[in-house]
Structure formats: structure tokens, C-alpha cells
Amino acid sequence: MIDWIGSGSMSGEATGPDPAFSDLTIEVPTGDVVAAAAFSGFSMGVLEHQPGEAGVFVREYGQFDPSGRPNVVDVPSFPANGVFAIPRCFFVRFRMMVLQGNAYARGLVFRLAPEGSSGGSKPPAWSVRDYRIQVGGKGDGTHRVMALARGSRLAGRGLDALLARSGAEAARFFGVRRSKVEVSRARRRSSGPRLV
């Protein structure tokens, strides 16, 4: 039985030779989940007689191992990695990439009710923060972090580590030193749960 659903959106636009990306991180009250990423719309252009491209997938997730230690699992950047069943999960990071086009996508996390529960528990409130990721002074990416408003594992050092991994990944992708990637806060707002 599905206990609740966390949902967030990603969007991106890229013209010219450089791609753009959008990350979405959804924190989960620890439990067994199914994470899914899907396009809600896209429009591709052409550059030098080559069509544009877009992909959306699960990029990484956090889960507790059987001994109770938290681990971050790195998932290869591959369009087929759009649906994962994750036991003992505490967050999921999605990534959408677009080259020569516009794209819109959703990241969804379905939390499964613990055995023996009646399900339908009230979802927690989230604290939503948006970040800009610039490579060499250009706006190349965004990252929305939907952390739990109370008891978050993505607060403080957890959030710093998440943004550092995302920035390092952007540096590797664009072939620049990590020092050339700048992550800055775009805005802050708090909201309650988003139910679907």
C-alpha cells in the first residue's frame, strides 16, 4: 500500500552547443520507496543538422544498510535508470538534461506503508530550496532540494555534501576544475506536502 507520494518538477532550456541540467532532490521519511522520473513535455531543436536530446533519470539515492549506516548510492547517468525500488531510503536525487531544446519532467517518490500500519499517514512538511549552478560564469543548471522540515538528514553538512556532489558532477561533465563551478542559493520557501 502506498503511504504517500512526494512530487517535484524539473525544467530546462538549452540552445547552442552546451547542455543544461536540472536536479531535484526529495527527502523521504525512512522507508521502502519506489522512485520514478518521467518527462511531462519536451520540444527539441536542431544544431548543426543534429537533433536535440533530453534525458531524465534517478541520479543517486540515500539508504540505510542492514547495520543502520547511511550510504549514498551513485546511479549511472543513463536514461533507462528512470524507476527504482529502494529499501530503507531517506532521499532520492533526480537529474534531467537537455541539449538544444526545452524539457519538463517530474520526479516522484512513492513511499510504501510499513507492514501492519493502516496507511494514509499524514505526510511531513518540506522545506524547499532552489540553487543555481553556474559553470564558468554561465547559468547551466538548477537544483531544487525538498528536505523534511523537521528531522532532516539533508540539513547542515548533509545538504553541503549533496550540493558538493552535484557541483563536482557538473565539473566532470563540463570538463572543468571544481573551482569553476559555483553553487548559489536562488530562493527559499517552505511548503506543506504535495499530494497527488
- pLDDT tens, residue by residue, 79-136: 778 899 999 999 999 999 998 889 999 999 998 887 766 655 666 788 999 999 988 7
| pLDDT of 47 over the 70 cut | yes
Q: From CA 191, how far away is CA 125, in angstroms rounded?
A: 6
Q: What angle do CA 193, 7, 124 make, to 5 degrees?
A: 25
Q: From CA 56, how far away is CA 82, in angstroms rounded?
A: 7
| pLDDT of 155 over the 90 cut | no
Query: What integer pLDDT is reported at residue 36 of this predicted model?
Result: 95
| pLDDT of 28 over the 80 cut | yes
Three-state secondary structure of 41-107:
EEEECEECCEECEEEEEEEEEEEECCCCCEEEEECCCCCCCCEEEEEEEEEEEEEEEEECEEEEEEE
HSE-up of residue 82 (Cα within 13 Å, Cβ side):
12
3-state secondary structure (DSSP) of residue 168: helix
Query: What integer pLDDT is reported at residue 193 of this predicted model?
Result: 44
pTM of the model: 0.86
Comparing 190 with 157, the larger pLDDT belongs to 157
Query: What integer pLDDT is reported at residue 3 of this predicted model?
Result: 81
Share of the chain above pLDDT 70, in %: 89
128 and 143 Cβ atoms separated by less than 8 Å: no
Query: What integer pLDDT is reported at residue 190 of this predicted model?
Result: 44
HSE-up of residue 33 (Cα within 13 Å, Cβ side):
28
**Nearest Cα to Cα of residue 8 among 121, 130, 144:** 144
| pLDDT of 7 over the 50 cut | yes
DSSP-derived letter for residue 178 is: G
| pLDDT of 166 over the 80 cut | yes
**Nearest Cα to Cα of residue 26 among 2, 55, 54, 60:** 60
**Nearest Cα to Cα of residue 15 among 130, 142, 140, 144:** 140
Query: What integer pLDDT is reported at residue 121 of this predicted model?
Result: 61
β-pair partners for 94: 24, 58
Q: Looking at residues 165-172, what average pLDDT do you find?
A: 87
Query: What integer pLDDT is reported at residue 119 of this predicted model?
Result: 56
